[in-house]
């Protein structure tokens, strides 16, 4: 009868030594100009002062797409900027599940 107890104790010991996996979210989006054309090389920054990584930045590709990964769950403020354009801001609640895309139109 001592075998099951020893097994449970060993299992709990192994389980407690495994580090917790951080649960983070990802937000994708696009940046377009006032004519709907993609803006290549725009900088998109996400900020959340309460998160361990308070700021995450990505640069758009030739289709105006970007992806910001490693975002802790919570309220994040976003800003998109590019030379010759006015900065556009937005925000969303980031979760560890599917997040809505952040799409920006620069003027």
Q: In angstroms, rounded to a whole number, what is the distance separating the alpha carbons of residues 100 and 29?
A: 8
Residue listed under structure tokens 């979760």:
95
Query: β-strands 102-106, 25-33: how paired?
Result: parallel
- In tens, the pLDDT along 88-98 reads 999 999 999 88
Helix segments in the chain, DSSP class H: 2-17
Reported pTM: 0.77
- In tens, the pLDDT along 8-62 reads 554 544 444 444 446 999 999 999 999 999 999 999 999 998 888 789 999 999 9
Banded pLDDT at 65 (limits 50, 70, 90): very high
Is the dihedral angle over the CA atoms 4, 5, 8, 9 positive or is it negative?
Answer: negative
């Amino acid at each position: 009868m001592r075998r099951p107890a020893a097994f449970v104790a060993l299992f709990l010991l192994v389980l407690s030594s495994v580090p917790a996996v951080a649960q983070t979210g990802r937000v994708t989006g696009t940046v377009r100009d006032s004519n709907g054309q993609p803006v290549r090389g725009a900088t998109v920054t996400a900020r959340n002062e309460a998160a361990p990584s308070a700021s995450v930045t990505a640069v758009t590709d030739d289709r105006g797409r970007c992806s910001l990964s490693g975002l802790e769950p919570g309220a994040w403020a976003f800003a998109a900027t590019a030379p010759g354009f006015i900065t556009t801001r937005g925000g969303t609640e980031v979760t560890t599940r599917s997040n809505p895309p952040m799409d920006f139109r620069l003027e």
